């Protein structure tokens, strides 16, 4: 992995137009959120299981989900004004508002205030006094917008890949801005993503053990970064996660590009870890039919989008099982980042993903295909058409 470039004025000159201020605030908010998540994950791995809850659909939620949502909501509202900010996000306040959840709410409030106390270190003005319970609940509650075809709204997934998060594995913080149905900027925080792609395929427990045995001066085990892009810029950027008392990261982004590999025999494809809402057998068959021979890279969350954008993988495919509906917060940020890094993201019919129909990707043709290049993308689309009738999806 090459060193991160020193400050290059052209990087920031390119953003001095529409959405430059929004992108700046969004990157800082996601940096803060990643710092918060790292602290909470460390607590989870020390067996503090009370920090994890189950939702009505049996999916997991942690205090990091609520805390990140409250933090990002507060930062966006303070930066742009409550009347100018609408947010679509995954979590609600129903569980936290119950009398029996008072201890959980206290943990969330404490976590939010710890994060906001560090806001000046990230270039954000924090609150004068710590937020109260009602203010934290209100910040979470404000993320209740339902999206739509017109106007501007933010899309937030506070902790994408919660199962990976609680296991100490990969997860992401995803924030995007949608205007008139189009994603205009995206920010993706990947705190556990190793800067050396070779370590992506190693089990997270092995990675943690080796990391502890490595001298702190070594960069071989460095991990964590933020990816971001703005529609139409033709570039995506990456900057490392650096301890919050070091502002060097503000001046050290570097461009990222998708892989130049077009030969399926040399390509790597990634897919979700869990089988609950996707078919591994179908994606494996598709990969084999187009000539992909490498083992799939299975990672949690929108880290898969990061892998393609960074050139660590060439293909991401997801075909949901019948009855599952894709949510816009699982794809908005990653889509624009891959596109601006030079890749292609569509549904299985070759149509752009539609973020104008509320919280779901309505009208999605069978599944989602993200590729580094047009040729690979076209091959997979044709393979889907040829084999769909036998997919049982």
Q: Are 68 and 173 in contact (CB under 8 A)?
A: yes
Starting at the earlier edge strand, list the strands of the sheet with 87-89: 87-89, 152-160, 172-179, 182-194, 223-230, 236-240, 254-256
| Active-site pick, 162, 268, 283, 346 | 162
Does the annotation list 2 as a binding residue? no
82-109 per-residue burial string, b: 16 or more CB within 10 A, e: under 16: eeebbbbbbbbbebbeeeebeebbebbb
376/290 Cα distance (integer angstroms): 9
Q: Are 18 and 254 in contact (CB under 8 A)?
A: no
Catalytic (active site) residue 49:
no
Closest CA to 84 of 177, 192, 186: 177
DSSP code string of 349-392: TSPPP---STTB-TT--S-EEEESSHHHHHHHHHHHHHHGGGS-
What is the residue whose two structure tokens read 């933090």?
71
Burial class of 33 by CB neighbour count within 10 A (0 to 12, 13 to 18, 19+)? buried
Q: Are 148 and 362 in contact (CB under 8 A)?
A: no
| Active-site pick, 65, 169, 312, 347 | 65
Look up residue 393 and give its two tokens: 């999806």
What's the chain's Rg over C-alpha atoms?
A: 20
Closest CA to 155 of 184, 175, 172: 175
DSSP code string of 223-291: EEEEEEEETTSS-EEEEE---TT-GGGGG--EEE-------GGG--EEE-S-STTS-HHHHHHHHHHHT
Does the annotation list 106 as a binding residue? no
Adjacent-strand bridge partners of 223: 194
Does the annotation list 347 as a binding residue? no
Catalytic (active site) residue 346:
no
Angle in degrees, 0-180, between the axes of helices 102-117 and 133-141, rounded to the nearest 10: 90
CA atoms 358, 351, 316, 235: torsion sign: negative
83/142 Cα distance (integer angstroms): 11
Does the annotation list 180 as a binding residue? no
Catalytic residues: 65, 162
Binding residues for Mg(2+): 90, 157, 160, 330
Binding residues: 90, 157, 160, 330
């Amino acid at each position: 992995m090459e060193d991160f470039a020193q400050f290059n004025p052209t990087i920031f000159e390119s953003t001095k137009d529409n959405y430059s201020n929004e992108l700046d605030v969004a990157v800082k908010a996601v940096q803060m959120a990643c710092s918060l998540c790292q602290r909470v994950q460390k607590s989870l791995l020390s067996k503090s299981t009370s920090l994890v809850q189950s939702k009505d659909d049996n999916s997991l939620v942690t205090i990091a989900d609520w805390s990140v949502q409250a933090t990002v909501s507060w930062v966006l509202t303070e930066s742009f004004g409550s009347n100018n900010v609408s947010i679509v996000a995954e979590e609600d306040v129903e569980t936290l508002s119950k009398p029996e959840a008072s201890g959980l709410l206290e943990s969330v409030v404490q976590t939010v205030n710890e994060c906001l106390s560090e806001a000046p270190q990230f270039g954000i003005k924090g609150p004068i006094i710590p937020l109260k319970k009602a203010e934290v609940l209100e910040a979470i509650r404000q993320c209740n917008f339902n999206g739509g075809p017109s106007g501007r709204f933010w899309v937030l997934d506070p902790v994408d890949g919660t199962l990976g998060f609680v296991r100490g594995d990969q997860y992401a913080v995803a924030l995007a801005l949608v205007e008139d149905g189009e994603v205009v900027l995206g920010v993706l925080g990947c705190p556990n993503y190793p800067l050396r792609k070779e370590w992506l395929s190693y089990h997270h427990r092995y990675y943690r053990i080796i990391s502890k045995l490595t001298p702190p001066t070594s960069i071989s085990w460095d991990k964590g970064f933020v990816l971001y892009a703005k529609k139409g810029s033709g570039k995506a950027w990456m900057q490392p996660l650096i301890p919050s008392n070091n502002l060097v990261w503000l001046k050290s982004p570097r461009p990222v590009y998708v892989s130049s590999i077009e030969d399926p025999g040399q390509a790597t494809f990634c897919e979700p870890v869990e089988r609950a809402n996707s078919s591994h057998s179908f994606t494996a068959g598709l990969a084999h039919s187009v000539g992909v021979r490498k083992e799939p890279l299975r990672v949690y969350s929108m880290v898969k989008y990061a892998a393609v954008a960074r050139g660590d993988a060439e293909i991401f495919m997801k075909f949901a099982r019948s009855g599952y509906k894709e949510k816009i917060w699982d794809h908005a940020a990653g889509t624009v980042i891959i596109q601006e890094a030079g890749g292609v993201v569509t549904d299985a019919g070759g149509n752009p993903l539609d973020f104008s129909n509320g919280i779901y990707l309505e009208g999605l043709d069978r599944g989602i295909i993200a590729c580094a290049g047009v040729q690979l993308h076209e091959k997979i689309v044709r393979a889907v058409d040829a084999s769909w009738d036998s997919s049982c999806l």
